[in-house]
Chain A
Amino acid sequence: MDVTREQISDGLKRAKYVTNERVETAIFLALALEKPLLIEGPAGAGKTEVAKVLAEILHTELIRLQCYEGLDEARALYEWNYQKQLLRMQAGEQEGLRWEELSEHVFSRDYLLERPLLRAITAPSRAVLLIDEIDKADEEFEAFLLELLSDFQVSVPELGTLKAHERPVVILTSNRARELSEALRRRCLHLFIDFPGIEQERKIIELKVPELDAKLAAEAARFVSAIRKLGLRKPPSIAETLDWARALVRLGVRELDTDAVRTALSVLLKHEDDRARVESKASALAPRTR
């Protein structure tokens, strides 16, 4: 596919996705080499967002497959619509159709429930396929995915082989709940996205919550970065930082002092012990104490 690094870089900027060279290069390569991109990193660092932004840049549909334990081909690829088939057969019996005629009818695309993977393959134009949290799926599913990712074709016994018109852009994300197989890693390009640095996060806040005072945004970024280093049970994600920034705007906070930090902490931290921990250190962490 013909894209240049500059196009990606511009596109990311237009989509308000603040990032670094590492991410840009990886996205560019995924498009240029038509390879799946495996993104790893802590929860809430913007892995899923990459796929969303990419769909926006390419002006195509984002097809999302959320993985979970026990996800099988019927949920991921396709399934026959049994109810519809049954109804059709009952109607057919009354019309006096023979089985041969019926079966031809009943096993057509009309009665096929397309799940995300098949949708991505049969999409009329190049789609972005996001396979989210692949580490939550079973190993069997991972093995099945390997086959699909290399050929982008599916054979449905009753219909024949369906092949992608245009290879979808595939993004896989993983939180490392378990180790992915070497085989899958081999087939993908790899990208690790960590939490943004203070400066990068400040830019994100300014871009997404422009109502917040610039000085306050910088202080907020510094504060969040500091509490991420405390080794909390669940460090705040970027989305939570943004929610927090919005909360600060709504609360009319002018200065990020100890009290301001305390009032809106529940937006940022979702575990009671995390909250207690940060609250006890609030005075040390808050940029300004009264």
Chain B
Amino acid sequence: MARLRDQLVGFIAALRAAGLRISVAESIDAMNAVAAVGLARAPMHEALAAALVKDEADRAIFDESFDRFFAAPRASRGEHPDHRGEQVSAASGRPGEEPPVRAAALASRRDEKSLAPPLQAKPAKKSTAARSHGAEKEKNGEEGRDARRLSDRMRDRQEQREQPPPEESTTPGIDATRVARIRAIERTAFDEFSDLDYDEARDALAPLIRRFRIRLGRRLRLARTGRIDFRRTIRAALQRGGTLIDVNFRARRPRHVDLVILADISGSVRYAAQLMLELMAGARGCFRRVSSFVYVDHLAEADFEDGHLVMTPALDLYARSDFGRVLGELWQRRTGLLRRGTIVVIMGDGRNNRLPARADLVREIARACRAVVWLNPEDPARWGTGDSAIKQYAREVNALVPSRNLRELQAALAAIA
């Protein structure tokens, strides 16, 4: 049994490395559960799931890990001959060592990945990048070629994302480096991001979204303190001979917060913007209504489909940022969008290419709404230098928060609610 215990410990470690949060108490539960149901594969699978998977969203990861962990090697031992047939059939392969074909395939996949040039061109897919690519096709010259190269890279990145994640190794174990990488990426400044960092950050995002949602739910909940319901309090007191024993509070109502998000997706801030939009998309349930927009020189509605940013209409990513014009467009659409309860979140560096900043519109918007919060992914030391108009905007917004990395971004967003 000691070996089984070790194996279970290893399995739990692998699950933790894959992002599941499993406490010591839960791992003890898992042991007890296996002891209770026995070693037949199917019941053991369900028993471990009941003890370890506390969120249905994690179930797929669990199933995959389970198949990897309790496949062929377990059948070889045959501790329980009566279950053996079942185990072998479920393990899909000969009992004993890892099927050589699969191992070879894995090895070759690994090689392929390490050898493949990072910017290898691949056939086009209908995606955000492809759509904006279409818009860029009209342009000629240096700028157009640059844009095409970028959209190739974006497409390539998306291709990589669509591929199933490569299995790290055939012998599962703790992947301590992954956790360390996530920690590191949370602290990496957005302006030092590369495409690779961005992919990694998106990896780190899933648990972040969950934590963020829980935190946000708690904040919204704490924020609504009830008022005393005088009538009910007196009526309760009358039942008790007029003594005020119970104080009744008015039923709490959920806060009606509408959120309007404006995110700059040009140049250096686009990583920050996309990560923020994705984070907010995950927390959508905490607000009454969330309207997301992205902008460069125009405003476009943003939406997430299967984790990809989709904008309508498509924007020219290489146009000159013009936030003044974007503000004008937003102001024109204000009916139904900007209300007393709305919080406007703007993500951008406020670098406006010396075009009119229209800070007066920000003032108007702030007056119409509950608050305007500006998140700036740029280093505060550089605010107001060069073509940055952030100082002008800073006077009109309710809060200007630096959000240079994922950690700061998350804290800033949680503070808004």
Contacts and interface: CB of A to CB of B under 8 A. Distances in A.
Q: Point out which of A5, A40, A181, A189 has the most chain B C-beta atoms below 10 A from its C-beta.
A: A189
A22 interface: yes
A82 B217 contact: no
25 contacts: A25-B46, A25-B47, A26-B46, A26-B50, A29-B37, A29-B50, A32-B32, A33-B36, A37-B50, A40-B56, A69-B251, A70-B249, A70-B251, A82-B240, A83-B239, A178-B217, A179-B210, A179-B213, A185-B55, A188-B54, A189-B51, A190-B50, A190-B51, A190-B53, A192-B56
Nearest to B220: A178
A186 B42 contact: no
Interface in B222-268: 239-241, 245, 249, 251-252
A86 B51 CA distance: 49
A181 B59 contact: no
Interface string B19-51: 001010110010011001100001100110111
A25 B217 CA distance: 32
Interface residues on B, range: 20 to 34
B221 interface: yes
B36 A179 contact: no
A82 B251 contact: no
Interface of B: 21, 23, 25-26, 29, 32-33, 36-37, 42-43, 46-47, 49-51, 53-56, 59, 210, 213-214, 217-218, 221, 239-241, 245, 249, 251-252
Contacts of A191: 50
A35 interface: yes
A223 interface: no
Contacts of B221: 138-139
Given A33-B29, A178-B217, 16 more contacts: A5-B37, A21-B43, A25-B50, A29-B51, A33-B33, A38-B54, A40-B56, A69-B252, A82-B240, A86-B241, A179-B214, A182-B21, A188-B54, A189-B29, A190-B49, A191-B50
B36 A28 contact: yes
A22 B59 CA distance: 12
Interface in A138-153: 138-139
Contacts of A83: 239-240
Interface string A16-39: 000001100110110011010110
Contacts of B36: 28-29, 32-33
Contacts of A33: 29, 32-33, 36
Q: Point out which of B25, B56, B245 has the most chain A C-beta atoms below 10 A from its C-beta.
A: B56
A22 B46 contact: yes
Nearest to B57: A192
Nearest to B21: A182
A22 B49 contact: yes
Q: Point out which of A21, A26, A29, A182 has the most chain B C-beta atoms below 10 A from its C-beta.
A: A29
Contacts of A181: 214
B285 to A, nearest CB: 8
A69 B241 CA distance: 28
A59 interface: no
A189 B50 contact: yes
A187 interface: yes
Contacts of A26: 46, 50
Given A29-B36, A138-B221, A186-B23, A21 B42 contact: yes
Contacts of B47: 25, 29
Interface in A49-96: 69-70, 82-83, 86
B251 A139 contact: no
Nearest to B285: A178
A191 B217 CA distance: 23
B245 to A, nearest CB: 7
A182 B59 CA distance: 16
Nearest to B54: A185
Contacts of B49: 22, 190
B162 to A, nearest CB: 24
B58 to A, nearest CB: 10
A139 B215 CA distance: 12
Contacts of A69: 251-252
A33 B28 CA distance: 11
B54 to A, nearest CB: 4
A45 to B, nearest CB: 12
A190 B57 CA distance: 12
A228 to B, nearest CB: 17
Nearest to A20: B46
A16 to B, nearest CB: 22
A259 B48 CA distance: 48
A132 to B, nearest CB: 19
Contacts of B50: 25-26, 29, 37, 189-191
A199 B94 CA distance: 33
A82 B21 CA distance: 46
Contacts of A190: 49-51, 53-55
Nearest to A80: B245
B205 to A, nearest CB: 17
Contacts of A187: 25
Contacts of B51: 29, 189-190
Interface in A188-203: 188-192
The 9 lowest CB-CB distance pairs between A and B, nearest first, are A25-B46, A185-B54, A32-B36, A192-B56, A189-B50, A26-B50, A190-B54, A82-B240, A179-B214
A192 B55 CA distance: 8
